[in-house]
Amino acid sequence: MAAADKVDPIHQFHINPIIPIHIGGYDLSFTNSALFMVITILVAGAFLYWSTAQRALVPSRLQSMSEMAYEFVANMLRDAAGSAGMKFFPFVFALFMFVLVANLLGMFPYFFTVTSQIIVTFFLSVLVIGTVIIYGFWKHGLHFLNLFVPQGVPGILLPLVILIEIVSFISRPVSLSVRLFANMLAGHITLKVFAGFVVSLSAFGAVGVAGAVLPLAMAVALTALEFLVAALQAYVFAVLTCMYLNDALHPGH
């Protein structure tokens, strides 16, 4: 069982309760997933807090990193949604840092990857789309529905275009969440499979060890790729969030 677990690429996604909590029949246990959510916000929060504690005019390296992350997200949001979008800055920055740190923490061996759980990424994207819808209707009322009516479309095509726009809007939370989830999941499975090859082949003596060099090299290369994907997906999540928020701010465009 334990030996099988080692090679089983799915094992890393298993959720195990640490503190079982059951309320009203629901399993609300504090699981390994929840533990890593907490670790994620602690790491991200502590980094941002301590690196900027000195408020130095000439920043240290760590403070520079925090400032770069801040300006990166701020510029992203300003480019996508204009200066009116800056009221969402803490939200987008929190999303970006959460996803980034969760992805990067997932790269540590034996660590749980929070963003490889579809329900977690789906929760985050529903949060984004929910913010867009609620803010859009609150700010623009029914004019928010202009979002689905592109300008300059011939009348005869309009129903079709509106239908397409609505479908694309509804698919946004799905695509947003599945993109992040699938990237993290597939990457970790691939990594685990190749690492598993190394272990399995090494069991066949000298020839096996020699043959294991190839999957080992692959696993090393994939690790680098996964670090890239971890950062890239956090960026993609944040930049799409900015674009959707732009729809909430300027639905008519």
Query: Which residues bind to another protein, rule: CB under 8 A?
Result: 8, 10, 13-15, 17, 20-31, 33-34, 37-38, 40-41, 44-45, 48-49, 52, 55-57, 59, 63, 66-67, 70-71, 89-91, 93-94, 97-98, 114, 116-120, 123-124, 127, 181, 185
Nearest-approach distance from CB 181 to another protein, in angstroms: 7
Query: Is 218:196 a contact under the CB 8 Å cutoff?
Result: no
Nearer to another protein (CB atom), residue 49 or residue 204: 49
- Which alpha helices (H) appear in 12-146, and where do they start and end? 32-51, 61-81, 89-105, 118-140
Q: Do 237 and 96 contact (CB within 8 A), yes or no?
A: yes
Which token pair is 119?
Answer: 């329900």
Query: Which contacts of 97-102 are long-range, i.e. CB under 8 A and separated by 24 or more positions?
Result: 97/44, 97/48, 97/69, 98/40, 98/41, 98/44, 98/124, 99/124, 99/180, 99/233, 99/234, 99/237, 99/238, 100/44, 100/230, 100/231, 100/234, 101/40, 101/43, 101/44, 101/47, 102/36, 102/37, 102/40
CB of 173 to another protein, least distance (A): 14
Q: How far is the CB of 208 from another protein (least distance, A)?
A: 25
73: helix, coil or strand?
A: helix
CA 229 to chain centre: 10
As measured in angstroms, the least distance from the Cβ of 75 to another protein is 12
Distance in Å, CB of 162 to another protein, minimum: 32
- Compare residues 104 and 147 and give the one whose CB is closer to another protein: 104
The residue (of 77 and 147) whose beta carbon lies closer to another protein is 77
CB of 5 to another protein, least distance (A): 9
Q: Which C-beta is closer to another protein: that of 98 or that of 237?
A: 98
The residue among 30 and 148 lying less far from another protein, judged by its C-beta, is 30
**Which one, 4 or 142, has the nearer CB to another protein?**
4
